[in-house]
Amino acid sequence: MSAEPSRNGRFVCVVGPSGAGKDTLINLARERLARDPRFVFVRRLITRPPYAGEDHEPISETQFEEAERRSALAISWRAHGLCYGVPDSVRTVVASGAVVVCNMSRAAIPDARRLFPTSLALVTAPPEILAERIAARGRESVADALARLRRKVQSPPDTAYDLVIENVTTPERGAADLEAFLRPLAGEHRGRRNG
């Protein structure tokens, strides 16, 4: 498929450190916007078994590599010993005028920008809260959790976030902030999609 950027919809990258609560806020925002077809929440492919707090499509490493070879992924990256991918079907959804929301790696922001009009939302929290949340998930050893926190992921040099959520109060508050950010983005494209 062509790498020509879409000019209609918007791709919203929700990024931030492990334990910041990205999946929680995205899931709550998805529930709040479930009846509005202008919003689409990406189900990523991840080489990890299903996990209660994260809506993703489990895939083996072999299947993932095959999907990359077939250009079935619009964006892919590797982190924490896992492979992550955004299905290529997202191109059509953004081109239709939708606001597409995806939990992304900061390292994948340049790829998203090459493909789509992009907005960036950073979800963050202080290190001690991140450590507590990672430990509470119970899917990693303490050593793995500490390694995640030590890993410094740098945003691309020209990155300016459109929204920053310091996720230290309730998940509902953070989700409300994310929803309030997303709603006007759909308004920008309503005429082109429905007109």
Please give the Cα distance from 148 to 169 (Å, whole number).
22
| 16 in a labelled binding site | yes
Task: Write the DSSP string, 87-122.
Answer: ETTHHHHHHTT-EEEEE--GGGHHHHHHHS-EEEEE
| 138 in a labelled binding site | no
| 22 in a labelled binding site | yes
Q: Is 116 helix (H, G, I), strand (E, B) or coil?
A: coil
| 72 in a labelled binding site | no
Please give the Cα distance from 125 to 92 (Å, whole number).
34
| 20 in a labelled binding site | yes
| 89 in a labelled binding site | no
Please give the Cα distance from 103 to 44 (Å, whole number).
8
| 9 in a labelled binding site | no
**Which residues are documented as binding site for ATP?**
16-23
**Which residues are documented as binding site?**
16-23
